[in-house]
Chain A
Amino acid sequence: MSILINKDSRVVVQGFTGREGTFHAQQMIEYGTRVVAGVTPGKGGQIHLDRQVFNTVEEAVQKEGADVSVIFVPAAHAADAIVEAALAGIKLIVCISEGIPILDMMRVKNYLRTTDSRLIGPNCPGVITPGEAKVGIMPSRIHRPGVVGVVSRSGTLTYMAVQQVSDLGLGESTCVGIGGDPIIGTGFIEILDLFQADPRTEAVVMIGEIGGTQEEEAARFIKERMNKPVVSFIAGQTAPAGKRMGHAGAIISGGKGTAAEKMDALREHGVRVVENPTDIGVCVREALTK
């Protein structure tokens, strides 16, 4: 078992013929993901990477039965691409694109609430169920199938944690990058809920960062609703207030959203918090042997 995606997921790539879309679609196909079609408006009818290109996601759903979409279109068109996927009835939309204006995301998010679609991202590395399917841009080499669920707001920091978990022979059930923007489709709590219900997942790694109050809310959820061990690291313990640390969401404003607050909240609710990110793997192993 796994969450969100598996070997049967039928993936359509939006922004298929672009540079990013082509490169990562190729990587996903090599990994064994069932990429069934691509979409680039105006290029319908072409064949790209041995797959049919369609003008609309709707066509890809009707003709190829796509149920997952991954978006590589430029920021200016990304919000529209998300809406298009939802209109076509795609169940899981993974938006890799970064730089979407916050007011656009606000409208999109409110629209998605009226649909059955789930959005992961934007500005995220995507989702991978090792050994089954990869829908995103993470390096597949570091992953191996296993029992640890990983959920994170960042990219390369997650890869570092995954590497530790893989090197220790634990492996991952599914890894989800939820994205570094202030408004994202799916938050920690929803992913934690899925991991709790997933029989394969035995422990969870949650990587947060400064800004917002998502981690604090997740802490309460973990205490009330989870019995699987959770290990957490929060990036940005040394970040100053008022400076945006790369991700649009990573900013301490009005004294809120500091790493210390988040770490305290998590500890209080029974989460194993590591201060040094190189200790994540070992801490998970400890949690699993107890």
Chain B
Amino acid sequence: MKIHEYQAKELFRSYGVAVPEGQVAETKEKAVEIADRLGYPCVVKAQVHAGGRGKAGGIRLVANREEALRAAGEIIGMRLISRQTGSEGRLVRRVLVEQGLHIVRELYLAVIIDRERECPVIIASAQGGMEIEELAQEHPEKIIKQHVHPVIGLTSAHIRNVAFKLDLNDVQRNHFSTLLAALFKFFMERDASLAEINPLIVTADDRVLALDGKVTFDENALPRHPDIGRLRDILEEEPLEVQASRFGLNYIKLDGNIGCMVNGAGLAMATMDMIKYHGGEPANFLDVGGGTSVERVKEAFRILLADEKVQSVLVNIFGGIVRTDLVANGVVNAIQGMELKVPLIVRLVGTNEEEGKRILQESGIPLITETDLSVAVKQAVDLAGKGGLSCRS
């Protein structure tokens, strides 16, 4: 789960990670009030769950009250378009107003989980500000990595190993060490999966602060951090994905035109791959999960068909423990009372397969049942865009 920069910084502050003074505002009037209190110059920053805000005009340095009013007025309500948002962009609903600082250096600092080593790793660089992936590719020697064994936890030795490589003076290094210890504590206590500060700045008066904050949390751990769960901003998420998650469905919207509904994440990915293999483009990833109920199948259909790009639908269910006749009932139930404008191909294999097929065929719903997965996928690809089946039968 992602959160906003201002939320990340509030959490940082509560753990003792130094951040610039600032406050979030939803109106330009409030933004100016905050700016007046902080004193000028200030920075006005768009709050959306996407990077590349600076280049997209979402971050502005303001020298006085008029500039602050203009900047906040222009940013709040704008559609911020960066390479991470897609062409439709993101509506900016609030800005973070922060004091301007005299920056002398920009560093990089993050804590993430290293899957291969199965422990947290601190990543730092004396060169912050730019894309860390690019830096890692072009100058891997400039990336400092310090793994931390989960049993011993973070020690002063780990911190020294990082801090002495960053070319800091004594005062700066002390500030950095305090900040890193606090960031690591935050990461472990709140089940973060990423805590990234880019840039981490050094000021003219030798302070070290988080100028930005990007934090994501382990969804599996949210039940034990209800306060973190409340930071979720569903307006930043794909509406169909939010709707799906309410019904325990795992849905991810993609750009193709063939909607698919599958049980199991691996099989769902494999089905998408087969669509591509046969020359089509999947419109989504949709895993209806193991305990497939009529309600879930119904909701899955509603979500699939709500995507206007969908021109054919492929249902691929491997009934292991799940009974395929129950899935068939779900499909029939979902489609009755719904106008189906696109071809529907259903592949049901497994427990009670014959009964499942009989239910589908006797329902009177115009659909194609097919046992061979390759054939089913080919049909979904070939029939995409050819309209509902009712007009052909």
Contact = CB atoms under 8 A, between A and B. Distances in A.
Given A76-B223, A156-B318, A239-B272, A102 B113 contact: yes
Nearest to B255: A240
A134 to B, nearest CB: 12
Interface in A183-206: 183
Contacts of A236: 269, 272-273
Given A110-B149, A276-B274, A102 B218 contact: yes
Nearest to B374: A278
Interface stretch (B158-166, B275-283, B327-335): B275-283
A229 interface: no
Contacts of A237: 273, 276
B231 interface: no
A99 B220 contact: yes
A183 B220 CA distance: 13
A107 interface: yes
A210 B269 contact: yes
- What DSSP secondary structure best describes chain B's contact surface? mixed
Interface stretch (B9-17, B20-28, B258-266): B258-266
Contact of A157 (B149, B254, B270, B285): B270
Contact of B266 (A158, A213, A240, A244): A158
Contact of A276 (B268, B282, B350, B374): B374
A235 B269 contact: yes
B221 interface: yes
Contacts of B120: 106
B320 A100 contact: no
A155 interface: yes
Interface in A261-290: 275-278
Given A107-B150, A160-B318, A237-B276, A250 B264 contact: no
- What DSSP secondary structure best describes chain A's contact surface? loop
B392 interface: no
Interface string B101-134: 0000000000001011011100000000000010
Contacts of B136: 254
Interface string A149-161: 0001111111110
Contacts of B270: 157, 160, 233, 235, 277
A139 interface: yes
Contacts of A210: 269
Interface residues of A, number: 58
Given A110-B150, A278-B373, A212 B266 contact: no
Given A107-B150, A155-B266, A238 B115 contact: no
A247 B320 contact: no
Contacts, number: 160
A246 B273 contact: no
A109 interface: yes
A131 interface: no
Interface string A84-123: 0000000000000001111110110110000000000000
A4 interface: no
A65 interface: no
Contacts of B149: 110
A250 B265 contact: yes
Nearest to B151: A110
A137 B270 CA distance: 21
B263 A183 contact: no
Contact of A238 (B221, B273, B320, B373): B273
Contact of B321 (A104, A137, A180, A277): A137
A276 B271 CA distance: 9
A248 interface: yes
B257 interface: no
B224 interface: yes
Interface string B371-384: 01110000000000
A243 interface: yes
Nearest to A138: B320
A145 interface: no
Nearest to A208: B266
Interface string B305-324: 00000000000001111000
A276 B133 CA distance: 32
A247 B133 contact: no
B318 A159 contact: yes
Given A236-B273, A238-B275, A276-B277, A209 B188 contact: no
Nearest to B256: A238
Nearest to A153: B266
A240 B265 contact: no
Q: Which of B113, B250, B266, B270 has the most CB of A within 10 A?
A: B266
Given A109-B118, A154-B264, A246 B250 contact: yes
8 contacts: A102-B218, A103-B113, A159-B350, A239-B285, A240-B254, A248-B220, A276-B274, A276-B374
Interface of B: 113, 115-116, 118-120, 133, 136, 149-151, 188, 191, 193, 218-221, 223-224, 250, 252, 254, 262-270, 272-277, 282, 285, 287, 318-321, 349-351, 372-374
Interface of A: 27, 75-76, 99-104, 106-107, 109-110, 137-139, 141-142, 152-160, 163, 180, 182-183, 207, 209-210, 212-213, 233, 235-240, 243-250, 254-255, 259, 275-278
- Closest 4 interchain pairs by CB? A154-B266, A246-B265, A156-B264, A139-B320
